[in-house]
Amino acid sequence: METEVIANDQGLMTIEAIQKVVNRSRASVYRYANTDFKDLNPPYNPKRLNPELRQSKDDLLLFHPSEVARFSRDVLGLKQVTIEVRESAETTTQELLRAILAELQDIRCLLQRDEPDA
């Protein structure tokens, strides 16, 4: 089973991306996830799908592609799991932020060039 998945900016997968990979419902993926309402980051469980560490209970559940492949292969028994992660297309916001950063770097260079040597 070879699947191409688009990951978020950190290269992690969302529940929706995992649904496509393992061909299971959203509710089923949540049942597989190693979560506990009492413990924000429960210890690693090899029989569950382990999310990345979260800072808050409000944070999205995100999963590393290699963890999804391991879970698919070892727990679900899917043969030949290959997950190819592609970066999502750059959004307008990312383009704008990149332009702002370039402008700020230019301003910094100009200011440093005009500083008298101390």
Q: Nearest 5 degrees, angle CA 25-CA 5-CA 48?
A: 50
Q: Nearest 5 degrees, angle CA 101-CA 103-CA 107?
A: 115
Residue-wise pLDDT for 43-83, tens only, equals: 999 999 999 999 998 888 999 988 988 888 888 888 776 66
Distances (CA, A) of 51 to 14, 20, 36, 61, 71: 10, 17, 11, 6, 11
Number of H helices, E strands in the chain: 4, 2
CA of residue 16 relative to chain centroid, distance = 12
Confidence at 99, pLDDT banded by 50, 70, 90: very high
- Inside any domain, residue 62: yes
User: Which range, of 23-37, 54-68, 84-98, 101-115, averages the lowest pLDDT?
Assistant: 84-98
- Inside any domain, residue 27: yes
Q: How many domains does the chain have?
A: 1
- Inside any domain, residue 68: yes
- Inside any domain, residue 110: no
pLDDT of residue 22: 85
User: Which range, of 37-46, 99-108, 109-118, averages the lowest pLDDT?
Assistant: 109-118
- Inside any domain, residue 31: yes
| Predicted model pTM | 0.64
Domain boundaries, position 76: 2-88
pLDDT of residue 89: 67
- Inside any domain, residue 97: no
